[in-house]
Amino acid sequence: MANVKNDWWETTLEFNWHTANLLIMATTSFTKKSLGTETIEPAVTPPPSTGNASFAKKPRLSSSKSKKREIPEGLWTKCPKCSTMVFDKELDENLKVCTHCHYHFPISARERIHSLVETCTFEEMDAEMTSVDVLNFTGASSYPSKLEKYRKSTGLKDAVITGIGKIGEHRSALGVMDFTFLGGSMGSVVGEKLTRLIENATGKELPIILISTSGGARMYEGMFSLMQMAKTCAALAYHAQARLPYISVLTDPTMAGVMASFATVGDIILAEPGAMIGFAGPRVIKDTTQAELPPGFQTAEFLLDHGLIDSIVPRKEMKPRLIDYLNYLSAGQNPG
C-alpha cells in the first residue's frame, strides 16, 4: 500500500509538476500573448513615460537642430547687438566689426597688432616672460594650473604683447593687451613687460601706444599686481619728462587697476565705440551709492561727453588716426 501510496503520491506529484509546468507555460504563453496583443494597451499606459521621453527628447532635438542651424561649420557668428548672423570671413575682413550695426567684437592682441603695424616691422619684446606663483595661491584650482590652461587656450604667455614696430612712418613702442588671457588682468608680467617697453621707448626716444582691455589687477598675485600700477605710471612719468608722446587706447572693457593707472595718463586718450570703461563695476557703484545710474554710464560715449577721453575712434579708422596724431605730436622731430 505504501508503495501504491507512494506511487500515487509520486504520480500526483508528477501530475502536479506537470500541471504546474503546464500552468506556468500557459500563463507565460498567456502573458506573452497578452503582451503581444496588448501592444496597443501599453501605448495607453506608458504615455506618461513615453510622453515624457518624447517631451524630453523633442526640445533636445529641436535645440540641437537650431544650434546646428546657428553655427553651420563655424562659418557664422551672431552679433550680440543686432542679432544678425555675420559671415565669419566678412567679420575678419572688417577687423571683427559687425557689418550691420558696427558692434566691435573682441579682437586678439595679435590680430590688433597686425591691423596697426606695417608688415614685418614688429619686433616683440620679452615674449617668454612668465608669472610665478609668489603667494602659493590656492583656490578651486592653483594659480600655476590656471596659467597653464590659459597658455594652452590662447597661445599667449601672459595678457600683454609688447614690442617695437612701424605705424606709418613712425617707429613706435606698442603694448597690446588680450582679454582672453585671464580677463586681461595685470599681474607682475603685464606690469614688467609694459615698464620695460616704456623704458626702452624713453631710451630710444620713441612714442608709446598702449591698447588696453582688462578686468583690472590680477588677484592671484595680490600686492605684486597692485605695485604694477605705480611702476608703469612712474616709467610713463620719465617718458613724459623726455617730452615724448603717449597715446592710450581704451577698448572693451577697460576697468579697475588698469584704468586707474597707465590707461588714463595718456597725452591723448582714445576709445573704441561702445567700450565699457570704468573703475568699479556699475552694480557695485549702484549698491554702494544707492543711486540710479544715468543711461549709458561707463560707456566710451558717456565718458567722451564728460571729458575723460578725447575721441572715439572706430577700429577701421584707428591706424590712420594714430598716424595723424603721431604726425602732429612729433612735428619738428625726426620720425624714428
Q: How far is the CB of 106 from Zn ion (least distance, A)?
A: 14
- Of 263, 331, 262, the residue nearest 300 (C-alpha): 263
Q: How far is the CB of 104 from Zn ion (least distance, A)?
A: 10
> For residues 103-162, which are near Zn ion according to CB under 5 A?
103
CB 219 within 8 A of CB 183: no
Count, residues near Zn ion per rule CB under 5 A:
7
Judged by CB under 5 A, the residue of 85, 101, 260, 280 near Zn ion is 101
- The nearer residue to Zn ion, 103 or 181, going by C-beta atoms, is 103
> For residues 225-254, which are near Zn ion according to CB under 5 A?
none
Q: How far is the CB of 96 from Zn ion (least distance, A)?
A: 11
Cis peptide before 253 (omega within 30 of 0): yes
Q: How far is the CB of 177 from Zn ion (least distance, A)?
A: 24
- The nearer residue to Zn ion, 81 or 321, going by C-beta atoms, is 81
Please tell me whether residue 98 binds Zn ion under the rule CB under 5 A: yes
Q: How far is the CB of 82 from Zn ion (least distance, A)?
A: 3
Q: How far is the CB of 102 from Zn ion (least distance, A)?
A: 7
- Burial class of residue 267, CB neighbours in 10 A (0-12, 13-18, 19+): middle
Binding mask 57-96 for Zn ion (x = CB under 5 A): ----------------------x-xx--------------
- The nearer residue to Zn ion, 83 or 241, going by C-beta atoms, is 83
- The nearer residue to Zn ion, 101 or 233, going by C-beta atoms, is 101
- Of 196, 190, 247, 255, the residue nearest 221 (C-alpha): 190
Q: How far is the CB of 81 from Zn ion (least distance, A)?
A: 5
The three cell numbers of residue 190 are 603685464
- The nearer residue to Zn ion, 81 or 110, going by C-beta atoms, is 81
- Find the largest Cα–Cα distance for the chain: 138
- The nearer residue to Zn ion, 82 or 127, going by C-beta atoms, is 82
- The nearer residue to Zn ion, 79 or 259, going by C-beta atoms, is 79
Q: How far is the CB of 99 from Zn ion (least distance, A)?
A: 8
- The nearer residue to Zn ion, 13 or 82, going by C-beta atoms, is 82
Q: Which residues bind Zn ion (CB under 5 A)?
A: 79, 81-82, 98, 100-101, 103
